[in-house]
């Protein structure tokens, strides 16, 4: 049986605008804010069953469409005069299939929500996504802590004299 492909497509700047701290960060450095969002999305992708695509529009920037891989998240910078909403709508139209591909769009833009609903995609608001991202981070931390508790200690704390004596034994020196 073929598994249904699960895609989450995120309006990156919409997500940045939905979190106060990241929005403040964006005023200082948009690149740093994008990095924060992408790192959080990568962590979320590791615990969810979604393939994540994050779209940043380059509406007022003279450029061609660019696609990058960032921590396993596909990052799309739209082409000149194309908004993230236009890209997302086209993506949903081209890829959604009720039996083969489930698409969840992360946006708080009401008109975008109505459009993607009409095409069969699901929607998660940007605020709700931040809650999901924070929950995923907590779950990852708990899992890492549980793994670390089970691991044997890497090094014994021994004095340098004992270490020197053990080294002599290892080298078979008397």
List average pLDDT for each run of 10 residues in the chain, which is 174 residues long: 87 95 94 95 92 87 84 93 92 92 92 87 94 89 77 72 86 76
Residue 44 near residue 133 (C-beta atoms within 8 A): yes
- What is the pLDDT at residue 114? 83
| Residue entry with tokens 């998660």 | 124
Beta bridge partners of 8: 52, 104
Q: Hey, is 75 helix, strand or coil?
A: strand
- What is the pLDDT at residue 145? 76
Query: pTM for this structure?
Result: 0.78
User: 70: domain CATH number?
Assistant: 3.40.50
Residue 116 near residue 139 (C-beta atoms within 8 A): no
Q: Hey, is 65 helix, strand or coil?
A: coil
Could you tell me which of 87, 84, 120, 117 has the C-alpha nearest to residue 101?
A: 120
Number of domains in the chain: 1
Q: Tell me which residue range forms the domain holding 135.
A: 5-170
């Amino acid at each position: 049986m073929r598994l249904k492909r699960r895609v989450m497509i995120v309006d990156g700047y919409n997500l940045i605008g939905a979190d106060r701290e990241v929005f403040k960060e964006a005023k200082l450095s948009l690149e740093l804010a994008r990095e924060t969002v992408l790192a959080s999305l990568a962590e979320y992708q590791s615990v969810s069953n979604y393939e994540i695509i994050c779209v940043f529009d380059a509406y007022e920037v003279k450029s061609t469409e660019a696609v990058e891989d960032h921590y396993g998240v596909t990052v799309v910078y739209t082409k000149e005069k194309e908004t993230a909403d236009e890209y997302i709508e086209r993506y949903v139209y081209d890829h959604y299939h009720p039996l083969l591909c489930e698409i969840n769009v992360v946006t708080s833009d009401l008109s975008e929500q109505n459009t993607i609903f009409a095409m069969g995609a699901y929607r998660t608001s940007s605020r709700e996504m931040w809650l999901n991202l924070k929950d995923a981070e907590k779950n990852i931390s708990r899992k890492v802590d549980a793994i670390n508790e089970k691991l044997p200690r890497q090094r014994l704390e021994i004095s340098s004299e004992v270490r020197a004596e053990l080294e002599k034994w290892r080298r078979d020196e008397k």
